[in-house]
Amino acid sequence: MPHSPTLDIVGIGNAIVDVIAHAEEDFLITHGISKGTMTLIEEDRAHLLYGAMGPAVEYSGGSVANSMAGAAALGARTAYIGKVRDDQLGGIFGHDIRSAGVGFNCLPANGGSTTARCFILVTPDAHRTMCTYLGACRQLGPDDVDTTLVASAKVTYLEGYLWDDPGAKAAFRVAMDAARAAGRKVSLTLSDPFCVDRHRADFLRMVEEDVDILFANEDEIISLYQTEDFDEALDRVRHHCEIAALTRSEKGSVVVSGDEAHSVDAEPVDRVVDTTGAGDLYAAGFLWAYTQGGDLRACARAGGIAAAEIISQVGARSDADLAALVTSRLAVNPTV
Amino acid sequence: MPHSPTLDIVGIGNAIVDVIAHAEEDFLITHGISKGTMTLIEEDRAHLLYGAMGPAVEYSGGSVANSMAGAAALGARTAYIGKVRDDQLGGIFGHDIRSAGVGFNCLPANGGSTTARCFILVTPDAHRTMCTYLGACRQLGPDDVDTTLVASAKVTYLEGYLWDDPGAKAAFRVAMDAARAAGRKVSLTLSDPFCVDRHRADFLRMVEEDVDILFANEDEIISLYQTEDFDEALDRVRHHCEIAALTRSEKGSVVVSGDEAHSVDAEPVDRVVDTTGAGDLYAAGFLWAYTQGGDLRACARAGGIAAAEIISQVGARSDADLAALVTSRLAVNPTV
């Protein structure tokens, strides 16, 4: 019989430093970048793009890493597995995630490609478009997964992006198997509609067989089921995994679990500054509430509040006192 | 006879990447850091401090570099001289200053200490306290000063911080001499009251003999003249250099030039978020207006508007359209 969990969430993902700059729509067109998506780029193109873009600010990022930092800020006991190099950016990534209160003991690579960077171009409408140079993330492998750590967490949270590299995919499988063997929950974010497109068959099988809690936005869930209709996608996913939390930007989110369904409005936002991290922080709030025993509506609301906060600032790691914010808003209106 | 200037401002300073984190007052006390000042730290202490501080965001910084980026945003033709290493942080610094429209051709060091970092701790009152690891800045020397470049600029802008290292001090002198030989203006910022304390005799002599435009805040000018009284310091400085621009935080600034004196109110600010860069952007606005032929009151107002903008955001490089902001505010109320 497994021990009772000592961690709430362990997250596994691509460990990335974000390089955030403002850009006009024309810049995306000139460089052939598809707005609102994440494109993988090689080193040459990374240099070219960086040379062409405006002044930037560096934040630690990575989708699952952002979620773990957010969940830790809310009070969840979290750990993170992801690969950086032993370079300056790797040192920055390690410092930021540890100082956010997330356990991080994955050894950095001491050779090969440099720490991953994601160039995030924020257009005047506050939308973000990402170009990722995976670098050292490609060195993540099954040996990096501490299965004892995974077995000790209520939820293992994985990102679809890991599927883009064979080693990371193998690490993903090892973690998922270890979580299931220990009777823990497996959670997946579909990451990006193009990522879903690249790995649809595998993702469909996982959603049906292995995933307990699925996170996806409208574009991603529509891509998964190759339908034009959100409601149809919703109908299909609700019987495939225990819980599916589907985010719909300003329309809020829908959470389904078998015959149960909850539609939750988006939290009000004074001014949307940068949508980077909206999905990551939704998952952070949701999984925090879930591991604290919250019902599905409370999970969705906590996710929505955390997401609303992160899009009111630049970057995907919150400056604000997320715990105070989420707790007070949930308390004021717990039934909405 | 020298050619007419092809640049407005060339700035020389310590090329630094800022590592900005929130910190409680207690953190400063625990680590024996004097609030509101800049302390130089060695590598060991840099590691210790970084290990203890919270999650951070990295911005390119450096006092004079911030001023040059701000002046370029306003439309001034600028160049910058400062030393980074050929490492990741050095690459980030170079990218940011060049993409801000500032000429930057100073060769990076290919050995020795890493690119300089300034740990900026922002307390809940929005004040900033700085601990700087100079690293590669200590490799700046007279050979890095392109005297033709200096001679081509209307103003050469130097920071007092350069005086903390013998090589940088020698570079400072070469630049100052080249500017004077070409009949250009020499401008100095006193940088920090403790920096003034370290080099008072030299700074006093320079202010009397070599500096045309001096920037200082209250603490710095009081430290220079070792008086408790701002008005006394003002009286002394007004006959020492052609122009002295003295900033007084929420009390605005006073600009004196011989018998001429202008007191300009601070620009209104909705919310002070982080005072990092206030002095740097004041100098940016002032020198931009000065090199465009503005009178002293317009210079002070442009400085105040740029400073007000930078303290409304995190970091010392502005996201905003500074040119539009300064131009519109100057136009609305040109006589105030």
Q: What is the pLDDT of residues B114-166, one digit of tens each?
A: 999 999 999 999 889 999 999 999 999 999 999 999 999 999 999 999 999 99
d(CA B300, CA B253) in angstroms, rounded, equals 7
Portion of chain B with pLDDT greater than 90, in percent: 88
A56 in contact with chain B, both atoms CB, cutoff 8 A:
yes
Tell me the CATH number of domain A7-332, given options 3.40.1190.20, 3.40.50.300, 3.50.50.100, 3.30.70.580.
Answer: 3.40.1190.20
Closest residue of A to B89, CA-based? A88
pLDDT at B296 over 50: yes
Mean of pLDDT values over A125-149: 96
Mean pLDDT value across residues B215-224: 96
Question: Using the beta-carbon criterion (under 8 Å), do B55 and A22 form an inter-chain contact?
Answer: no
CB of B23 within 8 Å of a chain A CB? The answer is no
| Chain A residues near residue B55 by CB distance under 8 angstroms | 60, 69, 95-97, 99-100, 317
B34 at interface of A, judged by CB pairs closer than 8 A: no
Residues of B in contact with A318 (CB under 8 A): none
B93, B84 Cβ separation under 8 angstroms: yes
Q: Is A23 on the interface with B (CB under 8 A)?
A: no
Q: Considering CB atoms only, which of A58, A99, A319 is closest to B53?
A: A99
B277 within 8 A of B20, measured Cβ to Cβ: no
Report the DSSP beta bridge partners of residue A262. A255
Helix (H, G, I), strand (E, B) or coil at B27: helix
Q: Where are the domains of chain B?
A: 7-13+64-110+138-332
B319 CB near a chain A CB, below 8 Å? yes
pLDDT grade, residue B282 (50/70/90)?
very high
In the structure, what pLDDT confidence band is assigned to residue B336 with cuts at 50, 70 and 90?
A: very low
Q: Does B208 touch chain A (CB under 8 A)?
A: no
Q: Which residue is it, tokens 């070792």?
A: B226
Pairing state of beta strands A7-12 and B7-12? unpaired
Nearest-by-CA chain A residue for B321? A22
Count Cα atoms within 13 angstroms, Cβ side, for B335.
0
pLDDT at B193: 92
| Nearest partner of B233 among B278, B200, B265, B202, judged by Cα | B200
pLDDT level of residue A236 (50, 70, 90 thresholds): very high
Q: If you write DSSP's letter for every residue of A133-190 in order, what string do you get?
A: E-GGGGG--GGG--HHHHHTEEEEEEEGGGGGSHHHHHHHHHHHHHHHHTT-EEEEE-
Of A182, A181, A180, A158, the residue nearest A170 (C-alpha): A158
Closest among A279, A309, A303 to A289, alpha carbons compared: A303
- Say if residue A2's pLDDT is above 90: no
Contacts of A98 (CB under 8 A, 6+ apart): A104
- Phi first, then psi, for residue A195 (nearest 5°) are -65, -40
Nearest CA to CA, how far is B51 from chain A (Å)? 7
Measured between CB atoms, does B312 come within 8 Å of chain A? no
B54 touches chain A (CB under 8 A): yes
* Rounded Cα–Cα distance for residues A79 and A64 (Å): 11
B47 touches chain A (CB under 8 A): no
Q: Say if residues B100 and B69 touch (Cβ distance below 8 Å).
A: yes
A273–chain B Cβ distance below 8 A for any pair: no
Buried b / exposed e across A27-60, counting CB within 10 Å, b at 16+? bbeebebeeeebbbbeeeebeebbeebbbbbbbb
Contact in structure between A273 and A126 (CB atoms under 8 Å): yes
Which residue among A58, A100, A114 sits closest to B58, beta carbon to beta carbon?
Answer: A58
pLDDT, position B333: 55
For residue B287, the 8-state DSSP code is H
Q: Does B55 touch chain A (CB under 8 A)?
A: yes
Site of tokens 């257009």: A123
Q: Indicate the CATH number of B7-13+64-110+138-332 among 3.90.15.10, 3.40.1190.20, 1.10.760.10, 3.20.20.60.
A: 3.40.1190.20
Contacts of B95 in chain A (CB under 8 A): 50-51, 55-56
Of the partner residues A55, A88, A115, the one whose CB lies closest to the CB of residue B87: A88
Alpha-carbon distances, residue A247 vs A222, A253, A255 (angstroms): 12, 4, 9
> Cβ(A304)–Cβ(A285) under 8 Å?
yes
- The amino acid present at B142, given as its one-letter code, is P
Instruction: Provide the 3-class DSSP secondary structure of residue B111.
Output: coil
Q: Residue A3 class from Cβ within 10 Å (0-12 exposed, 13-18 middle, 19+ buried)?
A: exposed
Is residue A299 within 8 Å of residue A255, measured between CB atoms?
Answer: yes
Rounded distance, CA B173 to CA B158, Å? 10
Q: What is the pLDDT of residue A336?
A: 42
Look up tokens 């050292």; give the residue: A136
Look at A95 and B60 and tell me if their CB atoms are within 8 Å. Answer: no
pLDDT top residue among A86 and B320 = A86
Which of chain B's residues have a Cβ under 8 Å away from the Cβ of A99?
53-56
What is the nearest CA distance from B276 to chain A, expressed in angstroms?
15
Least confident of A233-237, A278-282, A318-322, B247-251: A318-322
DSSP A249: G
Q: Do the Cβ atoms of B150 and B105 come closer than 8 Å? A: no
Nearest CA in chain B to A57: B59
Q: What is the pLDDT, as a whole number, of residue B332?
A: 63
- B58 to A54: CB separation less than 8 angstroms, yes or no: no
Residue A69 Cα distances to A1, A29, A288, A321, B261, angstroms? 30, 33, 11, 12, 52
Place of tokens 């140079």: A133
Q: Is the pLDDT of residue A334 over 60?
A: no
Confidence of residue A315 (pLDDT cuts 50, 70, 90): confident
Ramachandran angles phi, psi of A286, nearest 5°: -60, -50
Q: Which residues on chain B are in Cβ contact (under 8 Å) with A51?
A: 95
What CA–CA distances, in Å, run from B239 to B187, B242, B255, B259, B332? 15, 7, 12, 8, 33
Distances A273 to A125, A153, A270, A287, B249 between C-alpha atoms, Å? 8, 34, 9, 25, 28
Rounded-to-integer distance, Cα B207 and Cα B210, Å: 6
Q: A23-27, A92-96, A144-148, B321-325: which range is least confident on average? A: B321-325
Using an 8 Å CB-CB cutoff, list chain A residues near B54: 99-100
Question: Which chain B residues are closer than 8 Å to A85 by Cβ?
Answer: none
Residues of B with Cβ-Cβ distance to A58 under 8 angstroms: 57-59, 92
CB B129 within 8 A of CB B49: no
| Amino acid, single-letter form, for residue A205 | R
Q: Which of B18, B219, B23, B13 is nearest to B131 (CA)?
A: B18
Q: Is the pLDDT of residue A239 over 90?
A: no
Interface contact A56-B96, CB threshold 8 A: yes
| Amino acid B61: pLDDT | 96
The mean per-residue pLDDT over the stretch A135-157 comes to 97
Question: Residue A7 in 3-state DSSP?
Answer: strand
Which 59-98 residues of chain B touch chain A by CB within 8 A?
A: 59-60, 69, 87-89, 92, 95-97
- Amino acid identity of residue A71, one-letter, is A
Interface test with A, best of B57, B114, B313 (most A CBs within 10 A): B57
Interface contacts A/B by beta carbons within 8 Å = 59
Structural contact between residues A137 and A163, judged by C-beta atoms closer than 8 angstroms:
no
Of residues B45, B40, B36, B34, the one with CA closest to residue B16: B40
B194 exposure class (CB count in 10 Å sphere: 0-12, 13-18, 19+): middle
- Could you read off the pLDDT of A103-129 as tens digits, one per residue? 999 999 999 999 999 999 999 998 899
**Residue B288: alpha-carbon gap to chain centroid:** 14
C-beta atoms of B50 and A317 within 8 A: no
pLDDT digits (tens, 9 = 90+) for A164-184: 999 999 999 999 999 999 999
Residue B213, C-beta contacts closer than 8 angstroms, at least 6 positions apart: B155, B185, B186, B187, B188, B241, B242, B243, B244, B245, B286, B287, B290
Distance between CA atoms of residues B134 and B138, nearest Å? 6
Average pLDDT of chain B is: 94
Q: What is the mean pLDDT of chain A?
A: 94
